[in-house]
Amino acid sequence: VPMPHQVQMQLIKRRLVGKFGTDRIRELRSILDDLPDYKNGPYADIRKWVMGEIEHTRVRSRVVHRDSLDVRREGVAQVALVGPPNVGKSSLLQALSSIQIKTGDYPFTTLRPVPALTLIRGVQVQFVEIPGLIAGASEGRGGGRALLGVLRGADAIVYCHDLSGPIDQLEEVHREVIDAGIERPSMVAGTRLDEAETGALDRLRAAMPDLPVVGVSVLDDGSLDEFRDAVWRLTGLVRVFTRRPGSMDADPMAMEPGATVLEVARALHGELGAACRGAHVWGSSVRFPGQLVGRDHRLEEDDVVEVIT
Ligand SMILES: Nc1nc2c(ncn2[C@@H]2O[C@H](COP(=O)(O)OP(=O)(O)O)[C@@H](O)[C@H]2O)c(=O)[nH]1
Ligand SMILES: [Mg+2]
């Protein structure tokens, strides 16, 4: 007697986690071989679904280079969320952004990188959820190499760990990324903080002594704010505000550290860059509010800048 079709479907999806391109097609064929050959009923539907998936994967393999799952960059920085399945990556993505992402109790909810645009300090930062990296990814197993490719393209990495779960899974993912030679500014998010035992966060800090560790719960806005701050520090970017002379409204923008007045003017508008003679600046980079500075003056976090022409 075959197992209930819902269970069968879950097992099938589980077998497909992290499998892309020819890997996925091979697995789908072997799934097809394992299925009972009913002509109708739910099992016939599953068979049809698997065959449709084979066709779909074939088409996609032709379109997408198998080793790249390109995520279109948006915002001032791209931050990858990586970690074992079910640690709350999708939930975090959802809590940080306005878009709706499907989450579930199943580890196979996300099979492909999922990008989401969020606002941190008023500037757009893109998060990308990387589906669970599996052991052996750096050797290209299970389509993992393509996922590592996405990590390689990111500006920073957030390792996600469920504070109630075993730490060795996190260590395995971390090792996988290091073995792939990927070095990015990194931190660890201890997730589901609301459910965690006391001491769980300290144990995580002890296990990952080289990385900043932040506890976060999607149910706690304060912890989400701290998470955003930590991610901002990770990007290494500097926020400055620009304002038209005489206006009250200042717009935030992100710059590389050490950015000058001229670079800010150029980033605002090419012509403004050409016409820029200096700026009035409020903030920590100047000695008094509204100080007149030259084009080469270096700005600091949260400075307000009025470019003069
Ligand atoms: N209590 C609590 N549950 C969470 C939190 N974040 C995620 N979860 C639950 O953890 C499970 C897995 O979350 P999901 O975001 O799908 O994990 P992913 O596989 O890493 O993307 C879901 O049942 C979520 O509701 C949290 O901060 N607090
Ligand atoms: Mg997910």
DSSP structure class, residue 103: -
pLDDT at 138: 62
Has residue 300 got a pLDDT over 70? Answer: yes
Residue-level pLDDT at 50? 93
What is residue 232's DSSP assignment? H
Share of the chain above pLDDT 90, in %: 52
pLDDT tens digits for 220-279? 999 999 999 999 999 989 999 999 888 888 889 999 888 999 999 999 888 999 999 999
The DSSP result for 18-62, as a single string, is T--HHHHHHHHHHHHHHS---SSSHHHHHHHHHHHHHHHHHHHHH
- The reported pLDDT for the residue numbered 107 is 42
Closest residue to atom 19 of ligand 1, CA basis: 86
Q: pLDDT at residue 216 above 90?
A: yes
Atom of ligand 1 nearest to the CA of 104: 16
The top-scoring range by mean pLDDT among 49-53, 99-103, 132-136, 158-162 is 158-162
Edge-to-edge strands, sheet with 186-191: 114-120, 123-129, 77-82, 156-162, 186-191, 213-215
Residue 179: predicted pLDDT: 86
Distance CA 27, CA 69 (A): 19
What is the CA(109)–ligand 2 centre distance, in A?
A: 5
CA distance 115 to 55: 25
Half-sphere exposure of 231 (CA within 13 A, CB side): 34
Among all bound ligands, the one having the nearest atom to the CA of 216 is: 1
- Beta-carbon neighbour count of residue 224 at 10 Å? 16
> Residue 139: pLDDT band by 50, 70, 90 thresholds?
low
Q: Which ligand is nearest to the CA of 86?
A: 1
**What pLDDT is stored for residue 101 in this prediction?**
52
- β-partners of residue 123 are 120
Q: Which residue's CA is the nearest one to ligand 1's atom 16? A: 103
Number of H helices, E strands in the chain: 10, 11
Residues with C-beta less than 6 Å from any ligand 1 atom: 85-91, 103-105, 107, 109-110, 191-192, 194-195, 217-219
- Which atom of ligand 1 has the smallest separation from the CA of 105? 23
Q: Check whether 114 has a pLDDT greater than 70.
A: yes
99 pLDDT exceeds 80?
no
H or E segment and range at residue 213:
strand 213-215
Ligand nearest to the CA of 92: 1
User: What pLDDT is stored for residue 75 in this prediction?
Assistant: 86
pLDDT value of residue 240: 94
What is the pLDDT confidence band of residue 136, given thresholds at 50, 70 and 90?
low
| Average pLDDT value over all residues in the chain | 86
